[in-house]
Each structure stands twice: as C-alpha cells, then as structure tokens.
Structure 1
Amino acid sequence: MADRVKEVAVEEVVNIKTQTIRAARSAAYLYPLRGIVYFVSHRDLWKPLTSKLAPTMTLGLGITTAMFLFTYIPQMAVMAFTSGPLAAISAALLVLSESSTLFTVLSKTFLIEDALVDTFDGVLVSKNTTNLVSEGRQIKGGSGIMGKLGKLTKSPFQKFTPNALIRYLMYLPLNFIPVVGTVMFVILQGKRAGPAAHTRYFQLKQWNNTQKQKHIDEYKAAYTSFGVAAVLLELVPVASILFAFTNTVGAALWAADMEKGNVTADGTAPQLQEKTKKAE
C-alpha cells in the first residue's frame, strides 16, 4: 500500500509539473495583459463600463470595506496558528479573495452581465469576426465598434452557479496553509475561471457540452494560465471591476485568434509576447 501511495504521489507531481510547463509555454497568461492594452487604446469599448461604473464601484468598495471590518481580525487570529508571522498577509489575501468572489457573484449577476457581453462581442467585431457575433445578436450598420451591436438573439454569459460557489467554499480552507495553500487556491480558481471566460465564445460557436469539453481539454493548461492571471487581477480591491472588463477583452482577443486559426497547439497565438509589447 505504501508503495502504491508513493507511486500515485509521484504521478501527481509529474502531472502538475507537466501542466505547469505547458501553461507557461502557452503564454495565455499574457492575454489578460493584452486585454488591458487593447481596452485602454480603444475608447469605444469603454461605453459598457462607464454606463455601469458608479453602481459597481459603490458595490465593490462597500463589500471590500465590510469584509475587512468584520472578517479580517477573526481570520487573522485563526491563521496566526497556521501562518505565524505571515498571518496578517495571508488573512488580507483571503479577505480580498472572499470580497472579490462576493463582488463577482453580485455584480455579474445583477449589474454588469449584459455590459460584459457587449464588450466581448465588440472586441470580436473590431477583430473582423463579425460573422461569429451574428450568431448571437443582430449586427447594425452603425458607426464605431459598439454602434454595430444590435439586439441580443441569444442569452448572455452563464450566471454564477451554486456549484461554483460550493467549489469556492471547498477550496477556501487551503488559504490556511502558509503561502503554498494560497498559491494552490489561486490555481484552482484559475482552472475554473479560464474556461468560464470563453462561455460567450462557446455559445456563439453553438457547441454542445461534448464539443466544449473537448476544446477545454485540448487547451487545459492554457486556460489555467489565462484563468490564474485573470483571477489575480480581479483580486485587486475596487479596481476588480475594471479588470473584469479588461479580462473579458483579453478573452475575446484570444477567441478571435482561435477563430482565425492563429492559435498553436499550446493554446496561444505565435508572437504574442511581441504583440503585447506594442500598443494595439
């Protein structure tokens, strides 16, 4: 039995190492960064964000403030037994993660869902993949990127599900393990967030569950790489609303590259590092 346990452990370590190498090679973690550059340089994409900015900023600030006021000290006291001198930092990261999740649940469900869909579709239009967008909404002859977007003909992103919340609560205790636990927590969250970022893309492609899962499995490491970068950006208090939009832009840019066949087996477009260094 001991030998079998050792064998399984070794296999798991090798698997994690392999997936980590593949994730790094994919460079898909650069798409969220590219999304920031593209968003900043295309003012027309700001419209969905600015229309929701006031209520979402208020919600984000309120949630983060309340979480630090009522949960930071108790959680730091508990983590003092597991993290020692790092308890203050670990507890702060945990509260930020909790605040981010609450904000994501509430804002994406009640405030910005349609705005994120408009942003995703707008990027696809700007990258000359209008035919794909037309599978999920009407396309008008208006001026500017957002002016071309007509009425939705298919429902937008999948809302936050109970299963996702249950997984989050299951992974939450990992944060009580100093440093390593927090890193594992972010990676596990990233594995979920990566494929979720392409929910609209899968919808526009009209893929069934089997087709979606096959695609996700094919680019598993790349999706985790993208998801980890996106999760880390959305952990930033208050500014997480901005990064929710820029991550959506990054996901749409990646989808456009996939649609044009400019994506390698690793899951990213060749020369992405060079492209990211330049203003779009």
Structure 2
Amino acid sequence: MADKVREVAAEEAERLKALTTEAVKSQAYLYPFKGIYHFAAHRSLWRPLTSRLASTLTLSVGVTTFMFVFAYLPQAAIMAFTSGPLAAITAALLTLSESSTLINLISRTFLIQDALIDTFDGTLVSRECTDLVSDSRQVKAGSDPMARLGKLVTKPLAKLTPSAIIRYLLYLPLNFIPVVGTVIFVLLQGKRNGPAAHARYFQLKGWSKTQREEFVEKNQAAYTTFGVAAFVLEMVPFANLAFAFTNAVGAALWAADLEKSRNTAPALREQAKKAQ
C-alpha cells in the first residue's frame, strides 16, 4: 500500500510539474495585465464602462459594504478556530470573494453583459480581427473600433447559470482551511473562470460544445492561470467591475493572438514548401 501511495504521489507530482510548465510557457496569466494596459491606452474602449459607471460603482460599493458589515465578523469568528491568527486575513479574502461573486452575478445579469461583449468585440476589431467579429455582428467602416460595432446578429451569451453559483457555494468551505484552502479555492475559481472568459470567442468561432470542451481541455493550464489572475483582480474592492472590463480586453487580446498564430502557421508551412 505504501509503495502504491508513493507511486500515485509521484505521478501527481509529475502531472503538476507538466501543467505548471505548460502554464508558464503559455503566458496566459499575463493577459489580464495586458488588458489593463491596452484598456488604458485606448480611450475608445472606455465607453461601454463609462456608460454604466454610476450604476456599477453604486452596486459595487453597496454589495461590498453590506458583506463586510454583516458577513465579515461572523466568518472571522468561525475562522478563528481553524485559521488562528490568520483568521482576519482569511475572512477578509472570503468576504471579498463573496462580494465579487454577488456583484458579478447581479451586474452581468442586469447591467453589463452587453457592454462586456462590446468591449471584447471592439478589442478584436482594434487588433484587426474584423473578419472574426463580422460573422456575428455588423461592422462598419472607420478608424474607431467601438464606433464600428453595429447590431448583433447572433443571440446573446447565456448569463451566469445556477449551477455555477451552486458550485461556488460548494467550494466556499475550503476557505476554512488556513492558507492552503484559500489557494485551492482561488485555483478552482480560476479553472472555471478561465474558459468562461472566452465564451464570446467560442461563439464567434461557431464552435460546438464538443469543440469548446476539447480546446479547453487541451489548454487547461493556460485557461486556469488566466482565470486565477482575472479572479484575483476582480476581488479588489470597488474596482472589481472595472477589472471585469479590462479582463474582457485581456481575453480578447489572447483570442486575437490565437487567431494570428492559427493564420500564421499555415502561411509558414506554405512558404517552406515553396522554398523547397
């Protein structure tokens, strides 16, 4: 039995090492931060956010304040028995995570879903991926990527599902395990949120559910690290909705790079054949 345990542990260690190496090579975790820079440098991308700034700020401040007033102290008291001196920090992280989830649920359902789609599509247009976007919506002529976006011709993306909320609630108790539990919780959220960030990209590609699942499985490490970075940014109090927009930009930048690499590879193979 001991030999079998060591064998399984060694296999899992090798698998984790391979996934970590793949994640580092993909550099997907950088895209949320590239999204911040790109968003800041392109004022036209600000319009979807600024058009909903007042309502989203009010929602963010209200939900976060409510959660810290009514949920932080009870959770800190419980975590004092499991986390000891780290209870205050762990409870704060948990409360921020809960606030972020509530804000995302409410805002994406009622306030910003269309704005995030516009931001994603506008970023793709700014990166010369117009052909990809034009299959799903009207794209006008011009130099301003946001002004070029016309009416959607495909159905809107599905909003946050009840199963996602239930899964989140099931993961919450992990935060009662000091440090390690919180890390695992964030990793699990990243694993879920990473592929969700490319839901619009998959829709634009016209991929079936099977195609999406196969692509995500093949790039699981990259999507997890992207999702972790994006999730941590969206945990920042009062700025989480702004980061929701910059994360949409980062996801679109990643999609644009994927498209360019796909288009470049066949061209290089063709050039190699001609050279021979």
TM-score, normalised via structure 2 length: 0.92
What residue in structure 1 maps to residue 119 of structure 2?
A: 119
| 1:64-92 per-position Cα deviation (integer Å, ceiling 9, x unaligned) | 00000001110001000110000000000
Cα RMSD (Å): 1.8
Task: Number of aligned residue pairs: give it.
Answer: 265
Quote the residue 1:57 is aligned against. Answer: 57
Structure whose alpha-carbon radius of gyration is higher: 2
Residues of 1 paired with 2:261 and 2:184: CA distance?
32
1:90 alignment partner AA: T
In 1, the alpha carbon distance for the partners of 2:235 and 2:11 equals 32
TM-score (normalizing by structure 1) = 0.90
1:5 Cα deviation after fit: 4.6
User: Which residue number corresponds to residue 33 of structure 2?
Assistant: 33
- Report the alpha carbon displacement of residue 6 of structure 1 after superposing the two structures with TM: 4.7
Percent identical residues: 65
In 2, Cα distance between equivalents of 1:264 and 1:234? 33
Structure 1: unaligned runs, 5 residues or longer: 266-280
Q: 1:167 deviation in Å?
A: 1.2
Is residue 2:50 matched to residue 1:43?
Answer: no
Aligned letter for 1:213?
Answer: E
Contact 1:27 1:222 (8 Å CA) reproduced: yes
Q: Which residue of 1 aligns with 2:245?
A: 245
Query: Does the alignment pair 1:68 with 2:107?
Result: no
State the distance in 1 between where 2:118 and 2:52 align: 12
Letter in 2 for 1:102: L
Distance 1:143 1:22, change over 3 A: closer
Q: What code does the residue aligned with 1:68 have?
A: F
Q: What do the CA deviations read for 1:166-186 (whole angstroms, capped 9, x no partner)?
A: 111111111111111111110
- Structure 2 residue aligned with 1:226: 226
Aligned residue type for 1:178:
P
Tell me the CA shift for residue 11 of structure 1: 2.8
| Correspondence for 1:106 | 106
| Partners of 1:158 and 1:199 within 8 A in 2 | no
Structure 2 match to 1:216: 216
Larger deviation: 136-145 or 77-86? 136-145
Structure 2 Cα separation of the partners of residues 239 and 117 of structure 1: 19
Distance 1:263 1:167, change over 3 A: farther
Alpha-carbon deviation of 1:157?
3.0
Q: CA–CA distance in 1 between the matches of 2:155 and 2:51? A: 20
SS in structure 1 at match of 2:151? strand
In structure 2, the gaps of 5 or more residues are 266-276
Q: How does 1:252-263 map to 2 (within 5 A)?
A: 252-261=252-261
